Structures are given as structure tokens and as C-alpha cells.
Copies of this chain bind each other. A is one copy, B any other.
């Protein structure tokens, strides 16, 4: 990977955003209990940007990604993708689910090829791409196993490979690396950045790891919970590649962490203050 110090997003304000989330509200009216998952959430993501979302558990992050993916619809507000109203899912936006959403009747390789097949990719291309993505996530030796025979982390890696294989215009990733060990995680972070820079795709990435957010993103959106709202946006204009333990990254991570304090619902602060 070569150093990339181009001011990629200079003048983003003037450009039209690729994704515009505008006043999105989502309430779940359960039989037993109503929950407001998102309330009046607005933000933009520009073409080629890498945006991270951080926030407390239950804060509506997954709901937000579902709405952007077109799998769920907001109760108020709307999302524009490339200037058009999002009315349903489309092949230009692919979601990596928080749960390892593999198709249980397909083996590892077939799961990775799934997206490519739906797009009527040429057979030879499918094989080559699947092969490459399996290698990326180090699963080339487990191609024939079925999902139930995989470890938790392996499942998540298959899902990541499946999404990377189709090289969508926008990649929506919901805590994709949460189940991975440090080494695998860091390797995949690097690979993701490399792919992102090469294909110029746009990424919206949910994570609980503030350092991961600092290393990967151009911008971090911090959300509060109950109801989920945008608390603030933190720009991360650091040159790439970034080092996990470098002082600027550590600094940004500490900033994100500070913003995250007190994002939970009122009156539910931990009994024991966490020492950070």
C-alpha cells in the first residue's frame, strides 16, 4: 500500500452527496412496548467517502443501515441515494449484517459466489473473484464447509468476502469485525482500506471500536441512544495509511471516546464510573 495524501474530499460541501439521510425517524410499535429507534437523523455521505458510525448498544445503528439498504422504511423523513429516493434494496448498496447472515444450504464458496451469481457474472469471473475474496479472509482451505461447521469469526469472514466480491457502489457494514481476533481484524482493516482506495467505493461502517473508527474513516458520526440521534460528526483528515498506535490515531480515538460518554439514555449511567 502506498501513502495516499491527496486531499480526497476537499470541497465536499459543494458536491452533491451520494447518500443523503434526511430527518429519518423509525418507531417500532410492538404489541407490548413501543421503541423509538431513530429520531430525526440527518447526515450526508459523499462519493468515495469512508464514514464510521459509533454509538451505544441499542442506539439504532443497525436500523439506520437497514433503512439505507432499503430493507426497512422510515416512519418519517427519507433517504436519497445518488439523488433518488430509496424505495427498496438495490444492487448498488450491499449490507454486511451484524449477525453472520449466511445461507445455511450453501457451503462457504457458494455463499461467497452468491452475490456474483445473482448479477449474472461470467462463470470464469465468478470463480476468480470468489477465489480472491476467500483468500482475503483466509478461508481458501474451508471452501466446502457449510455455515454450521464454521466458527463464529469464520462465518463473519465469509459474509465479508461475499460483500467484497460484488464490489458495490456503496458498502454498508454493521460491526463486521466484531467477532475477529486482533490479527485478523487488523489484516482485514488494511485490506478493506486497500479495496476502498482501489475501487473508489463508498463505505458506511458501524463499529464499537473507537480505534478502528479512527484508523479507517474520513468522518465519524457519533450517535446517542434512546432515541437514536446524531450527536456530532468528527472529521478525521489524517493521511493514509494510518498506524493503529500512532499518536494522531490515538488522539482521534480518545476524542471519539469522549464524545461517546453520556450518549446512553438518561438516568442509566453505570454505577461504577469506567476508568478511561
Contacts and interface: CB of A to CB of B under 8 A. Distances in A.
Interface string A135-163: 00010011011000111111001000000
A111 interface: no
Interface string A49-60: 000001111111
A56 to B, nearest CB: 5
Interface residues of A, number: 64
Interface string A239-265: 001011100000000000100110111
Given A62-B152, A107-B32, A149-B30, A208 B186 contact: no
B175 A152 contact: yes
Contacts of A145: 30, 32-33, 35
B275 A157 contact: no
Interface string A173-197: 0010011111111110011001000
Given A179-B57, A179-B175, A210-B182, A272 B190 contact: yes
> Is chain A's interface secondary structure helix, strand, loop, or mixed overall?
loop
A238 to B, nearest CB: 14
Given A145-B30, A145-B32, A178-B178, A183 B275 contact: no
A28 interface: yes
B56 A181 contact: yes
Contacts of A42: none
Given A57-B157, A99-B152, A181-B54, A194 B272 contact: yes
B243 A275 contact: yes
8 contacts: A35-B145, A57-B151, A62-B152, A138-B268, A183-B270, A186-B275, A186-B276, A190-B274
Given A32-B107, A56-B184, 4 more contacts: A54-B181, A62-B152, A141-B265, A182-B257
